Each structure stands twice: as C-alpha cells, then as structure tokens.
C-alpha cells in the first residue's frame, strides 16, 4: 500500500518541499498507525524546514515535516490495548505529520472526543497547549489578574491565550498590527499597536486607571507572555508589577538563552519579579503526564463549546509549500491546517 508525505530533501526555502509516494510500513509492538485527517502548519515547521529550529540541528535530511496531527487509528501493533481501530486521536510528534499516515508509539496518543472537528482539534495541540501551560503551569495565573500578550496577539498562540485568559477571568492587553485589532477585541483583549506607541508608556496610561493592588503597585501587569524575544524583553520586563511573571516563548538558541539569563540575572529589581523560558517540547519530555492532562482538558473545553479555535485556512497536503508561504506572510489570523485525507 502506498501513501503520500511531504519531505524536506535539504534545508532551505519552501520550494524545496517534495510530495513523495512511498510504501506504507506496518506498526511494530507498542505502536499505532494513524490515518492523518489534519496536520497543523506552524512557524516551528518553517524553522525545521530551514534547519534553524533546535529540533532540526541534529536531524539529517530527508525527513517529513509536521509537529501536530489529528487522525483515526488505522492499525494497532502488538501489545496495544489502550486504543481501538477507528478511534480519533491527537499527537505532537514534532516530525512526520505532513503525511497521509504516521506511525507513533501508543504513549504519544491522546484520545479525541467524538464529534469534534479535526481541524479545530489539531489547533489545540501546539497552540492551545502552549497557551494553557504558560498561563497555568508557568505563570500560575489567578482570576482577576492582568496580562499582556506581546507579539502577535491575533496569531495562533495569541488567540489561544486570549480565549483561555477570558475563561480564567483575566484582564488582557495584546499587541498586534492595527488591522488585527478587531480580532483581539472580539476575544476579550484590549489591543495595542506597539509599532506606533511606546509600549511601556501605553501600559502606564492604560493600567494607571485601575486601583492600586495590595502591593501598592499603581500601574503595570501581573504577567507578560512574550513571543518576540530580543529587545522586546526589556519593555516586557519593565511593565511588570511587583511579583509579576515574564514568560518568553518561541524558539531559542543556546546563545539567546545565555544572553537573556545574563540580562535578567543582572537587572532584576528587588520586587519578586520572575523570568521563565517556555518550550512545549522540553516540558513535554520532562512532564509527559502534564501534556496528556492539559490536552485532554482542552479537548473537553472544545467539545463543550467553551473555546473555538480560529482556523485560518484548510489546504490539501499537496499545497504544504503554499501553506508555509501564507503563514510566513504574516497575514494569517489563527491556524493553517493541512487536510491529509478525505
């Protein structure tokens, strides 16, 4: 039996991507063969294609792209008793998702509730799990607190933070280009165009209207989620209240981590502010039970209609290169999804 998958034959631009047809393998003991219904398209995939992602540093080409997938169980390997054929499942394999079929360890799979849209479900795996874990595992956010989403608050992780933040009863600010302010507002956030205003001064103006908190802070936010890195971390740090938490996410090189830790070790004020780096794959490897628990919780919220991922586009597997170009253009609101099977 043949199957199609998108391969990176060598690191570089989207024009390098190839749609190949190969023989479909059989699952080994403890493995499950999944017929992929939806694969997410992310900036992590783009960086993997370019060879710029930490996960691609020690990986040889050719390989198949695809961080996050939702599909149905096609065939069980020996000794697999936790799933059954035809059951819908989700996973974060990091590679292999841009394919009609993928074989994964049964331990990697999370059950998906019946009746859920696969494109919406796949939007949760990378973006919403990232948002949920930053809010609740890293920042330990509390009802009534104020947060700033610094970066593209209308993007995949940004919209997830807004939706989950609204459920947690947070007051939210989000930076985004002016044409995306309506999206931020519709999800309960107060938009800020950081390109045309000084972010620190704007936060002072917006939050000074609030009453002082118990710590006496007259302005600022309780937590910042910074997806930009670099110089933006300085302003993100400056807008924190006493006891505030800055969570940086995205892709970090060892040099970035060393520079950032040096900056925040030498410049922290004596006010209990905290700085954290978040990486979904690192936390998943350290705490696999957390990933399963959090994704199951999020899938439950989706089933209940309490969250609604924004699916920016649904494109066939054969248009993987075009999907990555669309994502890189910066015009996308929400998640691009590849439909890998009918």
Confidence of residue 56 (pLDDT cuts 50, 70, 90): confident
Across residues 251-258, what is the average pLDDT? 58
**Lowest-confidence pick of 67-81, 93-107, 141-155, 247-261:** 247-261
Tokens of 79: 């000794």
pTM of the model as a whole: 0.92
Domains of the chain listed by start with CATH number: 2-124+310-339 (3.90.180.10), 143-278 (3.40.50.720)
Mean pLDDT computed over every residue of the chain:
90
pLDDT in tens, 131-188: 999 999 999 999 999 999 998 888 889 999 999 999 999 999 999 988 899 999 999 9
Task: Return d(Cα 24, Cα 27) in angstroms, integer.
Answer: 10
The answer, yes or no, to whether residue 266 has pLDDT greater than 50, is no
Q: For residues 284 and 282, give the distance between their C-alpha atoms in angstroms, rounded to a whole number.
A: 5
pLDDT of residue 270 exceeding 50: no
pLDDT in tens, 27-40: 999 999 999 999 99
* Beta bridge pairs of residue 337: 40, 314
What DSSP line would sit under 122-176, residue for residue? Answer: HHIIIIIHHHHHIIIIIS---TT-EEEEES-TTSHHHHHHHHHHHHTT-EEEEE-
Work out the percent of the chain whose per-residue pLDDT is above 70. 91
CA dihedral sign, ordered 189, 191, 194, 198 = negative
Cβ–Cβ under 8 Å, residues 218 and 146: no
> What is the reported pLDDT for 133?
97
pLDDT bucket at 269, cuts 50 / 70 / 90: very low
Residue 131 has a pLDDT of 97
Q: 255 falls in which pLDDT band (50, 70, 90)? A: low
According to the model, what pLDDT value does residue 252 have?
Answer: 61
pLDDT of 156 reads 87
**CA 175 remoteness from chain centre:** 17
Give yes or no for residue 260 having a pLDDT over 70: no
Output phi, psi for 45, to 5 deg: -65, -40
What confidence score (pLDDT) does residue 334 get? 84
> Alpha-carbon distance 304 to 6, whole Å?
34
């Amino acid at each position: 039996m043949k199957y199609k998958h998108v391969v990176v034959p060598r690191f570089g631009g989207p024009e390098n991507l190839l749609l190949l047809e190969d023989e479909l393998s059989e699952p080994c003991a403890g493995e499950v063969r999944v017929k992929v219904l939806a694969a997410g398209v992310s900036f992590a995939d783009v960086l993997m294609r370019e060879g710029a992602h930490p996960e691609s540093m020690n990986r040889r080409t050719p390989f198949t792209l695809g961080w996050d997938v939702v599909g149905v169980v096609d065939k069980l390997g020996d000794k697999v008793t936790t799933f059954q054929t035809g059951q819908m499942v989700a996973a974060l394999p990091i590679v292999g998702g841009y394919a009609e079929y993928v074989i994964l360890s049964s331990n990697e799979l999370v059950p998906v509730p019946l009746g859920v849209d696969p494109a919406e479900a796949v939007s949760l795996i990378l973006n919403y799990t990232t948002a949920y874990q930053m809010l609740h595992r890293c920042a330990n956010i509390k009802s009534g607190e104020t947060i700033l989403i610094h970066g593209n608050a209308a993007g995949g992780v940004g919209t997830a933070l807004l939706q989950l933040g609204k459920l947690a009863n947070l007051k939210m600010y989000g930076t985004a280009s002016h044409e995306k302010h309506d999206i931020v507002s519709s999800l309960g956030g107060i938009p800020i165009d950081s390109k045309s205003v000084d972010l620190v001064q704007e936060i002072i103006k917006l939050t000074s209207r609030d009453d002082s908190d118990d710590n006496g802070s007259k302005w600022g936010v309780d937590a910042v989620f910074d997806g930009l890195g670099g110089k933006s971390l300085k302003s993100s740090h400056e807008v924190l209240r006493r006891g505030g938490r800055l969570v940086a996410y995205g892709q970090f090189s060892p040099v970035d981590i060393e520079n950032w830790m040096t900056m925040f070790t030498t410049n922290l004020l004596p006010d209990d502010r905290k700085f954290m780096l978040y990486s979904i794959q690192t936390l998943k490897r350290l705490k696999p039970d957390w990933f399963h628990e959090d994704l199951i919780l999020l899938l439950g919220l989706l089933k209940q209609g309490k969250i609604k991922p924004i699916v920016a586009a649904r494109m066939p597997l054969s248009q993987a290169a075009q999907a990555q170009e669309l994502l890189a253009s910066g015009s996308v609101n929400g998640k691009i999804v590849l439909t890998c099977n009918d």
